[in-house]
Amino acid sequence: MSNIIHLNVPNQRQSDSDRQAALIASFAQHRRFGDDVFWLKENAELLNILECTDARPGADALAPHQGFYDQVEKRMGFFPQYYRFLLSICLDLEDLGLGGTKGAALAHWVNVQGLAEAELSDLQRAEARRLLARRDVRALEWDTGLTERLHRFINRSETFAMPNKKAAYELTHIVFYLSEYGRRDPQLDAAAITSLEYSGILAYLDQNADLLAEICVALRYAGQTPSQIWEDWLERETHRFDVGAGPQVSPQDDYHEYFVCSWLMAQNGRGGFVKPAQFDRMSFQRATPYVGPLRDMSEAMFKLEEKRSDDWDAMRPHVQNALTEIGHDILAEAEESSEKFASFFAGFARTGLQAGMLQ
């Protein structure tokens, strides 16, 4: 007999505060343990979402993290390579209501130790700078070109007209850091908004709820209203998650998709963490999505070779003929979701790249 409990209880039976407390306890105490880096990642993500959506669960709900908070200096001293996770969790616990003032001292220590100086990527430097600034510690002041380089990357819209999940996730996180998670205007140029829209079209064509939810949050942090087609679909996907609880459930699940979809719903006023939660080990399984048409579209365009064009009106029938009925419907929705679809497709076709290479 299975010990897995499926939580199909009507949402209204559990308050928002009770769901938040149960989620905090589950991730702090029941899914992973010790100094597992995945424990750090999961808890940093959950607490960050709660903090930047103005949830204030209070000290009682945060009590499962008291032991971590009491020992955070020792962990930081022995695991400085995880300083961003450790500092993020510490700061969020304080700001969510646990109490304590260790965050300022830790931020100062991180700066004195020069841990941010060891970061190779601009994205990680931007995250470190944002974390330390939460306690008024000015880091990386020597790197006067960091913000400019971040804007240069996200302003290159042609990067985001081609499937590249790594670049798309970096795009969203840059907007998160520049906006201080919605607290200030990230001052995005029109080209960066286009980059977000192109990435959103690709994510929708791929039926990638995880990435599309981050893109919609980033658009909202930039003062934009995402496509209703995208947000309606993400809301439906969030409600379709299956949440299980019990000792046998696996932490190898779709928790991150549930997190970011819930983050978006909190951001756009549609709810937040809507599924019932328990003070137990939980797993989050996304309902099997339809296969998006992105791969079939790419293959169809590649096979056209020299007949390939960047004109969407000319290419539409060739692409549609390569799709399933469901793929055809998703493509039609993607086209309707953005007025920039035709310009997106011009980049997706990559005709200019091929022509330049053959000259």
- Three-state SS string over the chain comes to CCCCEECCCCHHHCCHHHHHHHHHHHHHHHCCCCCCHHHHHHHHHHHHHHHHCCCCCHHHHHHHHHHHHHCHHHHHHHCHHHHHHHHHHHHHHHHHCCCCCHHHHHHHHHHHHCHHHHCCCHHHHHHHHHHHHCCCCCCCCCCCCHHHHHHHHHHCHHHHHCCCHHHHHHHHHHHHHHCCCCCCCCCCCHHHHHHHHHHHHHHHHCCCHHHHHHHHHHHHHCCCCCCHHHHHHHHHHHHCCEEEECCCCCCCCCHHHHHHHHHHHHHCCCCCCCCCCCCCCEEEECCCCCCCCHHHHHHHHHHHHHHCCCCHHHHHHHHHCCCCHHHHHHHHHHHHHCCCHHHHHHHHHCHHHHHHHHC
The letter for the amino acid at 221 is Y
Q: What is the mean pLDDT of residues 326-347?
A: 98
Two tokens, residue 198: 């192109």
User: Nearest-CA neighbor of 50 among 105, 108, 89?
Assistant: 89
Q: What is the rounded distance in angstroms from the CA atom of residue 44 to the CA atom of residue 169? A: 17
Domains of the chain by residue range: 144-226+290-359
| pLDDT band, very low/low/confident/very high, at 354 (cuts 50, 70, 90) | low
**50-94: pLDDT as tens digits:** 999 999 899 999 999 999 999 999 999 999 999 999 999 999 999
Q: List, for residues 23-41, the tens digit of each pLDDT value.
A: 999 999 999 987 799 999 9
| pLDDT (mean) for 240-252 | 96
User: In sequence order, which residues have a C-beta less than 8 Å from that of residue 342 and are 6 or more positions away?
Assistant: 312, 313
Other Cβ atoms less than 10 A from the Cβ of 169: the count is 16
The 10s digit of each residue's pLDDT in 3-17 is 333 444 444 578 999
Contacts of 294 (CB under 8 A, 6+ apart): 163, 202, 205, 206
> 185 in the Ramachandran plot: left (φ > 0), alpha (ψ -120 to 50) or beta?
beta
- Partner residues linked to 273 by β-bridges: none
Q: What is the mean pLDDT of residues 225-241?
A: 98
Q: pLDDT: is 35 or 249 the higher one?
A: 249
> Which pLDDT does position 300 carry in this prediction?
96
- Per-residue pLDDT at 3: 36
How far apart CA 45 and CA 132 sit, in angstroms, is 17
